[in-house]
Amino acid sequence: MSFEITKALLDTLKADVAEGRDSAIHAVFAELHPADIAALIDRLNLDDAVYAYRLLENETAADVLTELDEDLREELLNSLTSKEIAEDVLEHVDSDDAADMMSGLSEDKRREVIALLEDQEQREGIQELLTYEEGTAGALMGKEVITVRAEWTVVRAIVDMRQQAQEIEHIYTIYVVDKDDRLFGILPLKDLLFSSESTRTLIKHICDTDVVSVEVDTEAEEVVRRMKKYDVVVLPVVDANNVLLGRITFDDVMDVMSEEATEDYQLASGISEDVDAMDTPFIQMRARLPWLLIGLAGGVVSSRIIAQYEGQLQIAPAMAFFMPLIAATAGNVGVQSSAIVVQGLAAGSMRNVNMLSRMWKELRVALLSAVVCGTLIFAVNLLLQQDQALTYTVSIALFSVILTAAMFGTIIPLALDRFEVDPALATGPFVTTLNDIFGLLTYFTVGHLMYGLFP
């Protein structure tokens, strides 16, 4: 069951594709789960991928397509005719995956494909899904739900469910709606198991009416939070009148979670687009350059500030020695503080927290760190037998810089969040650069004072 792509397997597959040994390729794919086939095809170049993909049977091919890397999937779909997409692919995938695939096609091709769909319900479902804004519950949901009416008897419901089930590949939950299609409850599998013993019972008397749902325009992040909090596998999606529109499954939510984590992590590391190791050097460079340029601009500003203190550096050249220490510590503290805030905001635990009380808490953390670091560096400088003025300068500046960096690190993400900008932007190079600059300013100001006191 545990499948790993080895270099040998990949080389063999590439050779098979190059030589057109279709039966050998068939034999490899026959053993594998569609997700594994997709992982293999992801590693081929476009022409080889198209070749290998075309050898798959329709149902497997459709499953593989939903698992493929987005870019490759788009290119593969564009290599298929509208008729192939409508009949061979969309027939076999859930409406949410179908809508995802459609959104990668050109406007014209999309219209063509949709017109070619024979099932009216499917056509309307995909068209509806395409209208929802990306990043909302509507864009995540699929239309495949099994519903029974609250006022039906169990026996009537079972007959109806069987009919509905023929159209749907995976059944997760059975939804109970009222006569206006408003969500009334869910019918757990457990009750269904016992149901044939009580065929005259009404559904509304056995169903569970404590249902967690989301409205169609809820943000994807909130969908994740709710699914995680309430431990639900499938989340029903309703409109403003509580009419059941569709359902979001755990796999879509896992994808959202991974994307969010990746995005936060990349922002914290100074990478602005979603790139990975497989992207071309140019694309990777493009995602990384903005942050390097922010750092560079910060560096130029720092250079101007230091230039202002050239006189001070001539009096005390040794002050140059500790510039990196001050700048690095300021940067580190700032990133830590902002990371705590960003995570608190993401987890929702910081939504209703007063900004001042948050800063007071952070100030206490910073004070503790500042005392430890300031004392330590004081001891080190005594050991290194630095002159008195420098010893005091470094410790006092470090102490102040830790406090201010913590405050910047706390305020900036909170402020960004208030203006509805992603607070994760604040971590990484942005906060580091700002704190570098401010740290140097503090350092030279303190130095100027100290060298006045201890000439």
Site for a copy of itself in 215-244 (CB under 8 A): 226-231, 233
Report CA-CA distances (Å) from 453 to 11, 339, 388, 448, 449. Answer: 72, 38, 10, 9, 6
Site for a copy of itself in 72-101 (CB under 8 A): none
Site for a copy of itself in 260-299 (CB under 8 A): 260-262, 264-266, 268-271, 275-278, 281-282, 284-285, 288-289, 291-293, 295-296, 298-299
**The residue type at 20:** G
- Token match 């459609």: residue? 102
Closer Cβ to a copy of itself, 129 or 330, answer by number = 330
Q: Does 45 bind a copy of itself (CB under 8 A)?
A: no
Shortest Cβ 35–a copy of itself spacing (Å): 5
Site for a copy of itself in 354-383 (CB under 8 A): 358, 361, 364-365, 367-369, 372-373, 376-377, 380
Residue pair 411/359 in contact by the 8 Å Cβ criterion? yes
**The residue type at 370:** A
Shortest Cβ 141–a copy of itself spacing (Å): 16
Site for a copy of itself in 1-30 (CB under 8 A): 1-2, 4-7
Query: How do strand 244-249 and strand 234-238 relate by DSSP bridges?
Result: antiparallel
Helix (H, G, I), strand (E, B) or coil at 354: coil
Q: Does 407 bind a copy of itself (CB under 8 A)?
A: no
- Token match 């700048």: residue? 327
d(CA 259, CA 250): 14
Closer Cβ to a copy of itself, 55 or 367, answer by number = 367
List the x/- string, 179-218, binding to a copy of itself by CB under 8 A.
---------xxx-xxx-x-------------x-xxx----
d(CA 389, CA 316): 9
Gyration radius (Cα) of the chain, Å: 30
Binding range to a copy of itself, per CB under 8 A, among 23-31, 51-59, 107-115, 308-316? 308-316
Closer Cβ to a copy of itself, 42 or 128, answer by number = 42
Site for a copy of itself in 425-444 (CB under 8 A): 427-429, 432-433, 436, 440
Q: Does 328 bind a copy of itself (CB under 8 A)?
A: yes
Q: Does 331 bind a copy of itself (CB under 8 A)?
A: yes
Residue pair 248/212 in contact by the 8 Å Cβ criterion? no
Residue pair 74/104 in contact by the 8 Å Cβ criterion? yes
Shortest Cβ 389–a copy of itself spacing (Å): 15
What does the buried/exposed string (b/e) look like for 87-123 if buried means 16 or more CB atoms within 10 Å of the residue's CB? bbbbbbbbbbbbbbbbebbeeebbebbbebbeeeebb
| Given 130, 202, 257, 315, the residue binding a copy of itself (CB under 8 A) | 257
Q: Does 250 bind a copy of itself (CB under 8 A)?
A: yes
Q: Does 324 bind a copy of itself (CB under 8 A)?
A: yes
Site for a copy of itself in 95-154 (CB under 8 A): none
| Given 15, 18, 30, 35, the residue binding a copy of itself (CB under 8 A) | 35
Tokens, residue 196: 């044939």
Closer Cβ to a copy of itself, 3 or 79, answer by number = 3
Closer Cβ to a copy of itself, 1 or 356, answer by number = 1
Report CA-CA distances (Å) from 122 to 94, 192, 305, 385. Answer: 9, 27, 64, 79
Number of helical H runs and strand E runs in the chain: 22, 6
